[in-house]
Amino acid sequence: MTTLRFPVAAGAPGAPGALTDVEAVISQHLPAAAQGDARAYGRIVAACQNPITAIALAIVRDVPASQDIAQDAFISAWRHLQRLQNPSSFLPWLRQITRNLARDHLRARVRGGGPVDDAEGVIEAAADPGLDPLQQAMADERQAMAVELISALPEDSREVLLLYYREGQRSQQVAALLGLSDAAVRKRLSRARATVRGELLARFGEFSRSTAPSAAFASAVTTALLLASPPAAAAGLLTVGAAAGAKTAGKLLLGAAGSIGFALVAAIAGVYLGLRRQLRGAIDTAERHALIRSAVVCALASVGFAVGITVVAARSDGWQWPVATTAVFMATVLWQSMVVQPRVLRRRHAHEASLDPSGAARRRRREKAIAWLGAVVGVTAGTGGLVVGLMASGRL
């Protein structure tokens, strides 16, 4: 059997530099993030994404699901940042959130009798009925490899090994990011080396590196921050949509088209990311399909608004048509977020209440408060942006 050694990377005695980098990013940007600065939080996500996705992957053994769970963990932490008193506690707190979400995912998969992410296959099939069989085969093979490689490792070594290869084989860096001592990390690495044959361990190293999240992961999380729940999605869609409408009303053609395109991409990305999180807890096919229909309506409303506001701004000089187009868009998004989606989730909420009445009641009260806050913020910001645009264009 081939013997693999786990050296400490040269130039990283105790890995103080790498640790300082991560700590510096957190301490520098956490105060702004706690005040609602999504860009500052995005920098924290980029610094911490490797360990968080590794923790999730070690538990669920599914690469796409692990990245979804990591995204949910970052968003959950974002929602509750003001509770955090000590910036040095952020990473341990985030790790625990991730482990809890990953275990919840496994429990939901057992209750559902199949992979939770099957629901995402419904979306993909609807969006692209002619899915390339070769791509599907490659995805299936990759998932089988993930299960095989991760299952072969001692359970307490999985997080350590995944992060060890992703972090350039620096045991001190792994220890810092996972909150362990360097001796504990080395012990787990040695146990894995003694347990798993060398060829399989080499394959695992390549697998770990190839599945590390890219810079696009942090960008996706940042996009999803304003759209972390249906009410927040309403506020986000209304704000970016009306902002695009205001710019179109004020300045047509190329500049306006660019602003609309950006808003449209952000809105649809937010709808999709929010839908994936909702589908993960769906109790049956009927609920999945209803959630997908609602998301499709919101996405089509965004597309319709982007096209409609451009057309009416180009072909009319008054304020009536831009206002009417914006009002229809706002009404559609609010109806879906405030009425349709809560109805769809009613059975799930009833089931949660039967298991934990007080906890479910607290969550519903919090969701209702966020719903109204999101609606008020979205309508106010959207209407304000439209009025400014109409005034700037001389229409009002």
pLDDT digits (tens, 9 = 90+) for 29-64: 998 888 888 888 989 999 999 999 999 998 988 888
Q: Are residues 118 and 159 in the same domain?
A: yes
Please identify, among 168, 184, 218, the residue that sits at the C-terminal boundary of a domain: 218
pLDDT value at residue 73 = 92
Amino acid at residue number 278? Q
pLDDT in the model for residue 146? 67
Q: Judge if 65 and 122 occupy the same domain.
A: yes
Question: Is residue 75 in a domain?
Answer: yes
User: Are 158 and 302 members of one domain?
Assistant: no
198 in Cβ contact with 3 (< 8 Å): yes
In a domain, 46, yes or no: yes
| Mean pLDDT to the nearest integer, 118-128 | 42
With 80 as the cut, is the pLDDT of residue 16 above it? no
**Residue 148, amino acid:** E
What's residue 74's pLDDT?
93
**Residue 170 counted as domain residue:** yes
Q: In this structure, is residue 383 part of a structural domain? A: yes
Q: Are residues 251 and 348 in the same domain?
A: yes
Mean of pLDDT values over 355-365: 81
Q: How far is CA 277 from CA 66, 157, 178, 227, 255, in A?
A: 12, 28, 25, 11, 34
pLDDT reported for residue 301: 83
Structural domain total, the chain: 2
Do 365 and 335 fall into the same domain?
Answer: yes
For residue 366, tell me if it sits in a domain. Answer: yes
Dump pLDDT digits (tens) for 132-152.
Answer: 555 555 555 656 666 777 877
| Domain membership flag for residue 4 | no
Tokens of 86: 């000590």
pLDDT in tens, 250-293: 433 333 444 455 555 556 666 666 677 677 667 788 888 888 88
Ranges 1-15, 181-195, 253-267: which has the least confidence: 1-15
pLDDT higher than 60, residue 235 = no
Give dist(CA 52, CA 67) in Å, integer. Answer: 9
Euclidean distance between CA atoms 310 and 258, whole angstroms: 12
Of residues 267, 276, 277, 273, the one with CA closest to residue 301: 267
Q: Which residues contact residue 105 at a Cβ distance below 8 angstroms, ignoring those fewer than 6 apart?
A: 59, 60, 65, 69, 116, 280
Residue 273 near residue 220 (C-beta atoms within 8 A): yes
Residue 334 confidence (pLDDT): 83
CA-CA distance, 97 to 53, in Å (whole number)? 12
**8 Å CB contact between 16 and 173:** no
Q: Do residues 234 and 184 share a domain? A: no
SS3 6: coil
Q: Are residues 52 and 135 in the same domain?
A: yes
Task: Specify the pTM.
Answer: 0.56
Q: For residues 235-273, b (16+ Cβ closer than 10 Å) or e, as one string? A: bbbbbbbbbbbbbbbbeeeeebeebbeebbebbbbbbbb
pLDDT at 90 over 70: yes
Residue pointed to by tokens 């990305």: 269
User: Are residue 105 and residue 161 in the same domain, yes or no?
Assistant: yes
8 in any annotated domain:
no
Q: Where is the domain boundary, 171, 196, 218?
A: 218
Strand spans (E) along the chain = none
Amino acid 142: pLDDT: 59
Domain match, 241 and 195 both: no
Who's near 202: CB < 8 A, 6+ residues apart?
2, 4
Cβ neighbors of 68 (< 8 A, separation 6 or more) are 117, 276, 277, 280
Looking at residue 139, its pLDDT comes to: 59
Name every residue whose Cβ is closer than 8 Å to that of residue 272 and which is 6 or more positions away in sequence. Answer: 123, 295, 299
Is the per-residue pLDDT at 185 higher than 60?
Answer: yes
**Who's near 11: CB < 8 A, 6+ residues apart?**
none
Cβ 295 vs Cβ 271: under 8 Å: yes
Cβ atoms within 10 Å, residue 79: 15
Q: Give residue 4's pLDDT band: very low, low, confident or very high (50, 70, 90).
A: very low
Residue 223 in any domain: the answer is no
The distance between the two most distant Cα atoms of the chain, rounded to a whole number of Å, is: 79
Which residues, at least 6 apart from 173, have a Cβ–Cβ distance to it below 8 Å? 9, 12, 15, 18, 19, 167
Mean pLDDT, rounded, for 167-194? 86
Query: Which burial class, exposed, middle or buried, applies to 132 when counting CB atoms under 10 A from its CB (0-12, 13-18, 19+)?
Result: exposed
Q: How far apart, in whole angstroms, are the C-alpha atoms of residue 234 and residue 189?
A: 47
As a 3-state breakdown, the chain gives helix, strand, coil percent values, each rounded to 5, of: 85, 0, 15
**82 & 107 share domain:** yes
- Which residue, of 184, 218, 252, is where some domain finishes? 218
Domain range for 376 is: 229-392
Segment 198-208 shows an average pLDDT of: 81
Answer yes or no: do 132 and 265 share one domain.
Answer: no
Q: Is the pLDDT of residue 348 over 80?
A: yes
CA dihedral sign, ordered 259, 262, 263, 265: positive
Element (H, E) at 307: helix 285-315
Say yes or no: 183 and 80 in one domain.
Answer: yes
Do 162 and 54 meet the contact criterion of CB atoms below 8 Å apart? yes
